[in-house]
Structure 1
């Protein structure tokens, strides 16, 4: 039997003698139970359960195989119970996070604090893999979690949103527009700095600038975020940046933040992990710890 969920369906029908009650106890729809029963019947070549009055009763063949299947399910549960004994304070794993430099600057300090408190023997490595390599890395366990705005990361991937963000416009103090309202006309006349982030949802930002008429005013394209403030300080360029990064950098650089005079959608910062590790207690603990850290750092 390739799908362990079929074992749970068999057990529920054996115990409850009802498709509807089995579905309720399993937390699924009646259709899902019926579909699983159909697969079980195809696999074993037997009806397994049949209506007798108002109850689903096992066939003689189902009675014959039930002890073996139910014992197997007990072994699965025992293995899960042992896995749940994961103790972070004794873990020595090196966890790998996929994040850009924006995540390292904004989120990694809080992640490290929580990691030190809960699992002091663990370590973290970060990578900035392209989306295709991120997907393969997550699937084979080379990457434990991915952080960011990665709407194209979908195949066999789970995600949890930790924050919704918006964009702001960053410029240096002393900029000619520092003390005036940043109107759309003024915004479009300026030269813009653009961080190119292929494979992320931030490509929408470049599209919005081009559609607004600023195609020829993208004065500089760079592949990373953290060199941008140094470039702003030596120029009159504007930089449309995720608000959380703008706030973080303005604590350390003489930068001003203004509302962007373009209609830009909010975007979600999320955690992503592969379905293979969805039930893994080590991964589950790590992603819950990282999610807590991200919610703290992204709300500051």
Structure 2
């Protein structure tokens, strides 16, 4: 495309599949985006995006050239970034972090507290997206970072380890097994609560339960973590959960923990970002800041 501005509009339409959404994210009017789309169509001799239902879907021609155009825009951004700077004390940038409710509880309070001093005007928004949408969000800049245990994130992704974690078995105070050693046999005889979500890596728990013969002992399945302790304190269910989350919950719920009597691997909690934004000054500053904060916070819990 001859006009650099058209590249930005193309990226927004490719990402948002909506003239309205593209206009909002670019800070333009819908008329301006529609005009840019008309110029793209003239330049390429193709409709580029067509309305299918409520979404502007790319044509085969657009799909074929999209990666080249997006890569070209990324190269231009990288060239501009080398001359750019980032001042955390004055920046009003909004950063979007992909994490689950566990990440919000474990990571965000300490981060926001420290940001209040180091970067008082920065804003943070969390989102929770499936793995494929997380990957595309990191690639197109709608998501700045992902936090957690996300082994399924691969293509074009950088990762930095924050700390290692392991699972503990959680039960209510007063549970019939509270004062007993939790053997594998006793563990597998109990009914279990399982927090599940594909792509996160935590499905290893279900496999371990199935391999131990407890497939039919999974009584309750939940997609998120923070409702789990409410069920645990009101029942005799067992729950395998990351230790650092349980440490945060125990001051608020009457819970006890025991070692999980199954062979479960430790896992890495990390921060993930896309190669396209590897040299972005704001992205680099905040991810380095997150590493420092999480390292200090985790060591303080150890």
Conserved? CA contact 1:106–1:298, under 8 Å: no
Secondary structure at the residue paired with 1:248? helix
- Judged with a 3 Å threshold, the aligned counterparts in structure 2 of structure 1 residues 92 and 190 are, in CA distance, closer, same or farther, namely same
Secondary structure at the residue paired with 2:89? helix
Deviation at 1:81, TM superposition (A): 5.6
Query: In structure 2, what is the Cα distance between the partners aligned to 1:296 and 1:157?
Result: 25
After TM superposition, list the pairs within 5 Å mapping 1:117-132 onto structure 2: 117-132=117-132
- Judged with a 3 Å threshold, the aligned counterparts in structure 2 of structure 1 residues 138 and 80 are, in CA distance, closer, same or farther, namely closer
Secondary structure at the residue paired with 2:282? helix
Aligned pair 1:295/2:272, yes or no? no
Conserved? CA contact 2:166–2:242, under 8 Å: yes
Q: Which runs of 4+ in 1 moved over 3 A?
A: 76-82
Secondary structure at the residue paired with 1:251? coil
User: Per-residue displacement from partner, 1:139-188 (whole Å, max 9, x unpaired)?
Assistant: 01100000010001000000000101110000000000001111111100
Conserved? CA contact 1:106–1:297, under 8 Å: no
Deviation at 1:86, TM superposition (A): 1.4
Query: In structure 2, what is the Cα distance between the partners aligned to 1:136 and 1:77?
Result: 19
Instruction: Tell me which residue corresponds to 1:9.
Output: none
Instruction: Tell me which residue corresponds to 1:189.
Output: 189
User: Per-residue displacement from partner, 1:68-114 (whole Å, max 9, x unpaired)?
Assistant: xxxxxxxx99966632x311111001110000000001111011012
Instruction: Tell me which residue corresponds to 1:18.
Output: none
Instruction: Tell me which residue corresponds to 2:156.
Output: 156
- Judged with a 3 Å threshold, the aligned counterparts in structure 2 of structure 1 residues 86 and 241 are, in CA distance, closer, same or farther, namely same
Instruction: Tell me which residue corresponds to 1:82.
Output: 83
Query: In structure 2, what is the Cα distance between the partners aligned to 1:78 and 1:183?
Result: 59
Give the gaps of 5 or more residues in structure 1: 1-75
Instruction: Tell me which residue corresponds to 1:33.
Output: none
Query: In structure 1, what is the Cα distance between the partners aligned to 2:149 and 2:113?
Result: 23
Query: In structure 2, what is the Cα distance between the partners aligned to 1:82 and 1:137?
Result: 25
Instruction: Tell me which residue corresponds to 1:93.
Output: 93
Conserved? CA contact 2:81–2:279, under 8 Å: no
TM-score normalised by length of structure 1: 0.72
Q: How many residues align?
A: 224
Query: In structure 2, what is the Cα distance between the partners aligned to 1:177 and 1:77?
Result: 58
State the Cα RMSD in Å.
1.6
Instruction: Tell me which residue corresponds to 1:68.
Output: none
Deviation at 1:297, TM superposition (A): 2.9
After TM superposition, list the pairs within 5 Å mapping 1:236-255 onto structure 2: 236-255=236-255
Query: In structure 2, what is the Cα distance between the partners aligned to 1:175 and 1:288?
Result: 43
TM-score normalised by length of structure 2: 0.72
Instruction: Tell me which residue corresponds to 1:115.
Output: 115
Give the gaps of 5 or more residues in structure 2: 1-76
Deviation at 1:278, TM superposition (A): 0.3
